[in-house]
């Protein structure tokens, strides 16, 4: 983020931070939501704090704040009811959804603490399994314990990532693959140029997310780990 900030400042660009899943993560001691001109968070059902859908934007720029509030409220002038100087959107969270979020924010320390315990137990059970890669953490970072991620080296593990997911599914253990890289999705493919991101492509093809939720028990974690270890050939 430091380098991105330097480039943005040099060229007078805004920096938009995508922290959809990164609630309460830290970069060099600074919380997500404070690292850019604007930051977006998601409150979808599988996030650490959720109201089922929707999200939030944080910013310290008064003019950007005014613009965001204008657009999210259908573009209606806050000083003149039912007058719309711009085309806006209906992006408001309901009071009920906000009440759910406020209740979860009040217990955020307990939620984060339990998820960190889940992460630690996963690492303790999975470290040392040949062909299984665990997420590295930089010394200056404090990750958000959203989903526990791992990579599968087909040669060393004896199965591909997709084969491992099938084996776990047979034991009624749901997993998810890593996201498909944006540059490989149809809306963003540019036939006029060749974009080669080998590390991004490798991670997308070998990464899987293991079950992770705040109410997960130690026994459930152990069951997932035992099934994953047994899937190795």
pLDDT (0 to 100) of residue 48: 93
Task: Look up the pTM and report it.
Answer: 0.87
Q: Which domains does the chain have, with CATH numbers?
A: 2-106 (3.40.640.10), 108-230 (3.90.1150.10)
Tokens of residue 160, six digits: 């591909």
Neighbours of 98 (CB within 10 A): 15
pLDDT (0 to 100) of residue 195: 83
Task: For the chain, count helices (H), then strands (E).
Answer: 8, 10
pLDDT (0 to 100) of residue 150: 97
Per-residue pLDDT tens digits for 130-151? 999 999 999 999 999 999 999 9
- For the ranges 107-116, 120-129, 183-192, 211-220, the lowest mean pLDDT is seen at 183-192
Does residue 192 surpass a pLDDT of 80?
A: no
pLDDT (0 to 100) of residue 193: 75
Neighbours of 55 (CB within 10 A): 15
Does residue 2 surpass a pLDDT of 90?
A: yes
Region 40-58: mean pLDDT is: 93
pLDDT (0 to 100) of residue 164: 98
Region 210-231: mean pLDDT is: 97
- Report the SS3 class of residue 210: strand
């Amino acid at each position: 983020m430091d380098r991105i900030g330097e480039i943005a400042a040099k060229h007078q660009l805004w920096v938009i931070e995508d922290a959809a899943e990164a609630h309460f993560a830290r970069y060099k001691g600074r919380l997500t939501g404070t690292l850019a001109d604007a930051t977006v968070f998601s409150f979808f059902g599988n996030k650490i704090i959720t109201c089922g859908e929707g999200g939030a934007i944080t910013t310290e720029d008064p003019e950007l704040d005014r613009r965001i509030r204008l657009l999210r409220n259908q573009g209606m002038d806050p000083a003149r009811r039912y007058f719309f100087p711009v085309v806006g959107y209906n992006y408001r969270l309901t009071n009920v959804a906000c009440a759910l979020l406020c209740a979860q924010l009040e217990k955020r320390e307990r939620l984060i603490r339990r998820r960190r315990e889940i992460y630690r137990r996963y690492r303790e059970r999975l470290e040392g399994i040949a062909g299984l890669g665990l997420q590295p953490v930089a010394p200056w970072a404090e990750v958000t314990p959203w989903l526990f991620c791992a990579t599968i080296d087909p040669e060393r593990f004896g199965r591909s990532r997709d084969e491992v997911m099938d084996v776990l599914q047979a034991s009624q253990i749901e997993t998810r693959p890593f996201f498909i890289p944006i540059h490989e999705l149809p809306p963003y493919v540019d036939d006029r140029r060749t974009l080669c991101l080998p590390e991004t492509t490798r991670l997308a093809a070998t990464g899987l997310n293991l079950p992770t939720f705040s109410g997960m028990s130690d026994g459930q974690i152990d069951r997932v780990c035992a099934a994953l270890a047994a899937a190795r050939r």
